Structure 1
Amino acid sequence: MSTTASAAAADWTIVDEGWGRKAVDFATLSEPANCREYVALHHRLGVTEGDKLLDIACGAGLSIELARARGAQCAGIDAASRLIAVARDRNPASDLRVGGMHALPWADASFDVVTSFRGVWGTTPAALAEIHRVLAPGGRVGLTVWGHLKQSSGVWALMPFRLAAEPKVRNQANMVSLGRPGVGEELLAGFGFTEVERISIPFAWEFADPETYARALASTGPAYEAIQNVGEPAFLERAVAQAQEQVRDGLPLRAEIAVTGYLARKEVS
């Protein structure tokens, strides 16, 4: 494991500081808008009755709830203990654990499907080795990452994240590099995956008003990085002002953002 990967593996325990501090807000205000993304990837993977599915960086467990609706037997892992508490409340019969993606606590070849929705990034590529290990031969993997943000009409909704300190902003840019053309394909192939396919995933955030948008955004990890730098009142003020420019009479705030998906398989030995 490289020095960078080692650092990422060691740092997973601090994720709850950012993502867990407002777990209920995230689960009820932010995550529901991800449903299009979850449903689309499950559909393309053909998730079905009897599949054993692992969701990495499962957050508050909505994607697991939707996979269970398709008949899958689900497990999940997230570094934020307070998000896992919500996920367990939603999915009491699923195997949900607090932990890091670089050392998955399951045996080799345990799953037919592994998913991660914007959980594996350009800064955490070694997680793919663990995904490959826990997948059964012929098993399917599906990942999503941010796509071409500059060409997304809804990129305005991400702008308050740039209030973070400059090193954090640079790290955010490194994270989303996995969505660049050819990068994800090369990375998956390098970890032994086959039949790698790049797809476009539907994604749109919708909110009732600027204040709801700001509260939802503040519940996320990247927002926490900005809040650490400028304080929560300043972050919320900026987010509300950003959203007020997008208000449409009689319609919700809507931010369509490019999301890229990757589909692949573990080769049958």
Structure 2
Amino acid sequence: MTDLDWTLVDEGWGRRAADFATLSEPANCREYVAVHHRLDVGDGDRLLDVACGSGLAIELAAARGALGAGIDASPRLVAIARDRNPDADIQVGDMHALHWADAAFDVVTSFRGIWGTTPDAVREIHRVLVPGGRVGITVWGHIKVSPGAWALAPFRMAAAAKIGNQAAMVSLGRPGAGEDLLARCGFVDVRRIEVPFAWEFADPDVFARALASTGPAYEAIQNVGERAFLDEATRLAAEHVRDGLPLRARIAAVGYLARKATP
């Protein structure tokens, strides 16, 4: 990863780090809790979260007794992750070159942080796991048929090349894609699971602000400007307001669970 790439990652995901941490990431709790449960994360597990963002998944793993660590390319998100997890080893870095030694962890997770465009990160995950160690990776599923697909529509305001890259990223959610990648990287007992995911927001303005704090939103904002992006996100959300209920966008997500073979 080049220096320019590092700068772009932090600009896309870190420019509104506090908004992401408090408005967007809490909606991921269902996803985090479900995967931790399926991996049987518990007391004493040494756990690494790859592309850890603002560290909520590490905090939830610690509540189950795990000893957390994390890595993310955004210094501003890592600052929040460290604030949430003062006893965890959370580093700024490249997931393709993890800073830890071989066999350093019992569990590795990554929540929509590894994509079809970053497959080599899975080899690094394999390296830092102990024999028999568990891995859980989530990705978007079939977005187009999701009831909440409308919530991701503003991302398509990005330039055509960026939209094409987004499609390549989510390709890991296609049937067989994740299973094949994990198997090629040496994992065994690979399973695909459905992962619960739903965004909930108080109103269209909060939704638009939360969405604007994400990396894909930044790509759209670069193309059309922030005001146009916020206006479109607010307009779309207004069509889904329900009297007395929060905005809710349920989106298909899938997970891959596997383990490192024991010699």
Q: TM-score range by the shorter chain?
A: over 0.9
Aligned 1:1-269 pairs, distance under 5 A: 11-269=5-263
Q: Which amino acid aligns with 2:97?
A: A
Q: Secondary structure at the match of 2:91?
A: strand
SS in 2 for 1:19: helix
CA RMSD of aligned residues (A): 1.1
C-alpha separation in 2, matches of 1:67 and 1:10: 32
SS in 2 for 1:102: coil
CA distance in 2, matches of 1:10, 1:48: 38
Local SS of the residue matching 1:37: helix
Distance 2:19 2:168 in 1: 27
Query: 2:108 corresponds to which letter in structure 1?
Result: V
C-alpha distance in structure 2 between counterparts of 1:256 and 1:246, whole Å: 12
Is there any run of 5+ residues in structure 2 with no aligned partner, and where? none
Match of 1:3 in 2: none
Which residue type is aligned with residue 184 of structure 1?
A: G
1:13 Cα deviation after fit: 4.4
**Deviation for aligned residue 1:151:** 1.1
Deviation at 1:10, TM superposition (A): 7.5
Give a deviation string over 1:174-227, Cα, whole Å, max 9, x none.
000000000100010000000000000000000000000000000000000000
Residue aligned with 1:261, SS: strand
Shift of 1:150: 1.1
Identity score, percent: 73
What letter matches 1:195 in structure 2?
A: D
Give the match's secondary structure for 1:200: strand
3-state DSSP class of the match of 2:61? helix
Provide the C-alpha distance between the structure 2 equivalents of 1:169 and 1:41, rounded to a whole number of angstroms. Answer: 28
Q: Kindly tell me: are residues 129 and 265 of structure 1, through their superposed partners in 2, closer, same or farther at Cα, counting changes over 3 Å?
A: same
4+ residue stretches of structure 1 with deviation over 4 A?
none
Name the count of aligned residue pairs: 263
Q: Distance in 2 between matches of 1:65 and 1:36?
A: 14
C-alpha separation in 2, matches of 1:246 and 1:79: 34
Q: Which amino acid aligns with 1:137?
A: P
Give the partner amino acid of 1:98: V
Task: Provide the rounded CA distance (Å) in 1 between the counterparts of 2:108 and 2:6.
Answer: 19
CA distance in 1, matches of 2:138, 2:79: 24
